[in-house]
Structure 1
Amino acid sequence: MRLETAQIRIHTNLCTGKSTQEQALLARIESLPGLRQVAIGRNLAGSWGAGDYTLDLRFDPAPSGSTGHDDGLAAALEGVAQVDRVAYSPISDGLRAPQLRQGIWRTLMFRVRPEAPECQVRSLEQDLLRMPEYMPGILNWRLARVLSPGTWTHVWQQEFASAEDLLGEYLMHPFHWGHVDRWFDPEFPEWTVQAISHAFCPLATSLIANHNRREEYAP
């Protein structure tokens, strides 16, 4: 399978009638060749460095010799103010609540410093993947490396039952501040991440479980 996520910013004069906006966007996207699954959610207050919507797509595998990052989506989203889009390959994931309904989908896209040693990047990845051990509110999760050229190097996604689990336990947990934050803070010698985009939006059903239910991927 081929996975993509995007942050979509709409023009200011279109910021009313969000249900109509979502339906119009979905109608244009759903005709893309090879598309197997699509989800879109309007980002909630507290998101930053992100767009108005989070869009997630699952495609059939790209043909041999193809990068899989064609301009079909760009054409479908013509007229949208800005699209920040990545294709990615999962490193690892986990499921505690595959039947999750009406939850919260969080997407953190980040860029590691080009001069960061590879061992440091791997340690950062390992600390992120340890977070669910300490935070039961993270119900499902996936860490991935970005394949497409652009701003971001990684995508870190989590599913929660409510926004309170993200804004409370996750962001305020001692493991977050004591272990994970050092990779994101330029005042620490371990500083590795130089830019982030943090978005969260409503989630109808678990995207991670739906992806895994249809086909497995190799790390």
Structure 2
Amino acid sequence: MRRWLVRADGPPAPGFSATAAADPSAGPDLPGSVGGLGWSWDLRADARPELPASADAIALRPVRAGFVPLTGPRIKRTLLLTVRAGTPADVLAEFESDLIAMPEHIGTIRSWALSRVDPIGGDTAWTHAWEQEYATIEGLTGEYLLNPYHWAHVDRWFDGEIPGSIVEPVLAHVFRWSESSVLIEDLPGMRPD
């Protein structure tokens, strides 16, 4: 069973979960989201799910993840990004390592996953998905975005004015409420923290 991220202009159609996917979770993108289509879905399916033409489905191949139990609703954040073509493998590994280290420095990150985009999902420019869950929206918009580790170690990869940046300027930074964990422990690459 493969994890899929979907950007869509509306919710899944009635009956979608029973016929196409396991454990779907969907919700409207919250104010402050950028690059979404209005709704974000997370689901598991063996093959590319049947989706409306307006939806963008992204297949994921986990690099590393961490699971932290959290009860009740939570914020599910997804950052879709594109690493520039031709980036050397050692530089890409350093970039991924800096993202993976973020939960060690930013206490509001609960469960998290870094994945590469799998071409099995179809034509997409995205290369990576960086996902997290937070107990509150302030955990994302405050501690995460303003943390010194974020600015000193991670932002340099994204800022085109800094030599050595490798991430293209077009991003999808979307977040929504989820009633339960999307980044659950039984997925490939998950390890309890």
Q: Which amino acid aligns with 2:105?
A: Y
Cα shift at 1:50: 1.2
Q: Would you say how many aligned residue pairs link Structure 1 and Structure 2?
A: 186
2:73 paired with 1:73? no
Aligned to 1:132: 103
2:13 paired with 1:39? no
Name the CA distance, whole Å, in 2 between partners of 1:169 and 1:99.
18
Cα shift at 1:217: 1.9
Pairs within 5 Å for 1:2-21: 2-10=2-10
Q: Which amino acid aligns with 1:88?
A: L
Contact 1:93 1:142 in 2 (8 A): yes
Larger Rg: 1
- Length-normalised TM-score, structure 1: 0.79
Name the CA distance, whole Å, in 2 between partners of 1:89 and 1:117.
20
Contact 1:120 1:190 in 2 (8 A): no
Aligned to 2:65: 93
Contact 1:32 1:73 in 2 (8 A): no
More helix by share: 1
Matched position secondary structure for 2:95 = helix
Matched position secondary structure for 1:32 = helix
Pairs within 5 Å for 1:104-143: 104-143=75-114
Cα shift at 1:56: 0.8
Aligned to 2:142: 168
Where do 5+ consecutive residues of structure 1 fail to align? 11-21, 63-67
Query: Which one of the candidate residues 16, 20, 23 is aligned to 1:29?
Result: 16
Name the CA distance, whole Å, in 2 between partners of 1:26 and 1:165.
31
Matched position secondary structure for 1:167 = helix
Aligned to 1:157: 131
- Length-normalised TM-score, structure 2: 0.89
Contact 2:115 2:128 in 1 (8 A): yes
Aligned to 2:174: 199
Percent identity over paired residues: 33
Aligned to 1:52: 38
